[in-house]
Amino acid sequence: MPSRPPLTPIVEALPATVPFVGPEAQQRASGKPFRARIGANESSFGPSPRVIETMAAAARDMWMYCDPDNYELKAALAAHLGVDIGNVVVGQGIDGLLNIAVRMHVAPGDAVVTSLGAYPTFNFHVAASGGRLVTVPYADDRENLDGLLGAVRREDARVVYLSNPDNPMGTWWEADEITRFVEALPETTMLILDEAYGETGPASAMPSIDTARPNVLRMRTFSKAYGLAGIRCGYAVGEAKAIADFEKIRDHYGVSRMAQIAGLAALADQSYLHEVVAKVAAGRDRIASVARDNGLSPIPSATNFVTIDCGSDGAFALKVLQNLIARGIFIRKPMAPVLDRCIRISVGLPDELTLFAEELPGALAAARR
Domains of the chain and any CATH numbers: 9-46+271-367 (3.90.1150.10), 49-269 (3.40.640.10)
Angstrom distance (rounded) from CA 195 to CA 197: 5
CB 283 within 8 A of CB 347: yes
> CB-based burial of residue 97 (10 Å sphere; 0-12 exposed, 13-18 middle, 19+ buried)?
buried
At residue 247, the pLDDT reads: 96
CB 331 within 8 A of CB 343: yes
Q: Taking the CA of residue 125 as centre, how many other CA atoms within 13 Å lie in the half-sphere pointing to its CB?
A: 23
Q: Taking the CA of residue 109 as centre, how many other CA atoms within 13 Å lie in the half-sphere pointing to its CB?
A: 0
> CB-based burial of residue 318 (10 Å sphere; 0-12 exposed, 13-18 middle, 19+ buried)?
middle
Sign of the dihedral defined by the CA atoms of residues 41, 45, 51, 57, in that order: positive
Angstrom distance (rounded) from CA 287 to CA 301: 11
At residue 28, the pLDDT reads: 94
Positions of the chain with pLDDT under 70: 19
Computed on alpha carbons and rounded to an integer, the radius of gyration of the chain in Å comes to 21
Angstrom distance (rounded) from CA 15 to CA 135: 19
Distance between alpha carbon 292 and the CA centroid of its chain, in Å? 26
Q: Taking the CA of residue 67 as centre, how many other CA atoms within 13 Å lie in the half-sphere pointing to its CB?
A: 11
In this structure, the strands spanning 190-194 and 132-136 are unpaired
Q: How does DSSP classify residue 209?
A: P
CB 142 within 8 A of CB 125: no
Angstrom distance (rounded) from CA 294 to CA 143: 27
Amino acid at 274: H
At residue 2, the pLDDT reads: 82
Angstrom distance (rounded) from CA 52 to CA 67: 20
pTM: 0.96
Q: How does DSSP classify residue 207?
A: P
pLDDT digit string (tens) for 87-109?
999 999 999 999 999 999 999 99
At residue 16, the pLDDT reads: 85
CB 320 within 8 A of CB 343: yes
